[in-house]
Amino acid sequence: MSRLVLKFGGTSVGDVDRIKNVARKVEAEVQAGHQVAVVVSAMSGVTNQLVKYCNAIDPLHDAAEYDVVVASGEQVTSGLLAMALQSIGIRSRSWQGWQVPIRSDDTFGKARIADVGTDALLAAMAGGVVPVVPGFQGVTDGGRITTLGRGGSDTSAVALAAALKADRCDIYTDVDGVYTTDPRIVPAARKMNRVTYEEMLEMASLGAKVLQTRSVELAMNHGVRVQVLSSFEAAPGSDLPGTLVVSEDEIVEQEVVSGIAYSRDEAKITLRKVADRPGVAARIFGPLAAAAINVDMIVQNVSEDGRTTDLTFTVGRADLDRTNAVLETSKDDIGFDRLASDPTVVKISIIGVGMRSHTGVAQTMFKTLADEGINIQVITTSEIKVSVLIAEKYTELALRALHTAYGLDRT
Ligand code: ADP
Ligand code: ASP
Ligand code: MG
């Protein structure tokens, strides 16, 4: 007998029939003799709608009340699934985040889980009851509801699996595993049987939304065995080969580049003719940090006049208006001539632990993009990834060309 945490994403619980389908998957695992706890997302589209309501009331709404609103989607699904399980003879009940409790800090909108209470859930499971827990939500020490950032139900599931010492955490979604790149954009993408925590962490943080970044971090730190698989296949997770996220020593053969990710969440800012003197970078990025705006890629060039510099960097697209406002306010203090911003960019990243021991990997990327006539605007690298910023309209072309160039295409 194993202890399993099963998580079902938005599409997997998208309507009543799909919730009934999920109930049958849970039933199959229970009948195979496993102890099961379930984590559910909101029905697909619900969270987006709730976010829209908040923005329609006031774009500068209170973050704590935003969490009260958006956490409600998962509450609905948890109750519906518990009912669906009961109706096919499986004993089940829901536990809301505050009832478990899933305690978090009070960074409303992107809270971090501090710990997960296990007493009630373990007792329920031992007594043959399947607990259904809404993902995405937590509760502060002061008793207020929080949410864990978009895609946060993955993190709820992994945190629950770690706390319950589960043998596996199955993340059911609308694709049957983690692919070499987004299979919805590159039809030749290949499903990976295994991917390392390190690579999955990079892929997630560089845009592959199949797992929330924080969930991979937690899985890596707590050694949680995570499997990504499809809820649309007939078989349950214990019989189905999805993609396992594992440590490096469990991988036999390693590609140099194992995955390609993209992120459309970036916007590019260029400050022209910035005075070239010590301390100027601090005067630019200090006010942005104070406004809690994250800066990602940065590049500095000599201006046309040879005496000043041009500084280009990226911020989250959602932060673009605020960034422009902060920089205009600090213009005299920073000392620059002109500010230009461009939200129509995409960050494309190649990822692979094999990069540590191979040379020429980045060069292949640059040449492939050049051959397609795609201009690279910014480059950043780390030990196991190379990222480039290009015009958004080339997203598909670049992904497909790079996928072929690194020999990742399905044969
Ligand atoms: P859920 O609602 O189940 O949480 P998400 O929409 O958050 O599902 O994540 C699944 C989606 O992630 C897929 O439909 C796919 O388009 C996208 N995706 C992006 N990159 C990858 C990748 N490398 N492998 C698999 N899916 C990916
Ligand atoms: N419902 C939340 C979202 O759409 C959390 C999740 O689905 O993981 O972001
Ligand atoms: Mg998701």
pLDDT confidence of residue 252: 67
- Please tell me the CATH code under which domain 3-248 is placed: 3.40.1160.10
Sign of the dihedral defined by the CA atoms of residues 168, 173, 176, 177, in that order? negative
Residue 208: closest CA among 258, 246, 166: 258
pLDDT confidence of residue 237: 66
pLDDT confidence of residue 297: 94
Q: To test the ligand 2 pocket, which listed residue (11, 13, 39, 47) has its Cβ within 8 A of the most ligand atoms?
A: 47
pLDDT confidence of residue 102: 98
Longest alpha-carbon distance in the chain: 77
Q: What is the DSSP string of 97-146?
A: TTTTTEEE-S-TTS--EEEE--HHHHHHHHTT-EEEEETTEEE-TTS-EE
pLDDT confidence of residue 411: 82
Structure tokens at 6: 């099963």
Residue type, 198: E
130-134 vs 35-40, strand pairing mode: parallel
Q: What distance in Å separates the CA atoms of residue 18 and residue 40, rounded to the nearest whole number? A: 12
209 three-state secondary structure: coil
Q: 0.85 exceeded by the pTM? A: yes
How much distance in Å is there from the Cα of 74 to the middle of ligand 2? Answer: 8
List the domain boundaries for the chain: 3-248, 254-411
Domain 254-411 part of CATH 3.30.2130.10: yes
What Cα–Cα distance (Å) separates residue 27 from each residue in 40, 235, 337?
Answer: 15, 12, 65
pLDDT confidence of residue 359: 86
Q: How many CB atoms lie within 10 A of CB 356?
A: 11
Give the chain's residues under pLDDT 70.
237, 252-253
How much distance in Å is there from the Cα of 247 to the middle of ligand 1? Answer: 21
Q: To test the ligand 2 pocket, which listed residue (76, 153, 213) has its Cβ within 8 A of the most ligand atoms?
A: 153
- Ligand nearest the Cα of residue 152 is 2
Structure tokens at 298: 């940065």
How much distance in Å is there from the Cα of 156 to the middle of ligand 1? Answer: 17
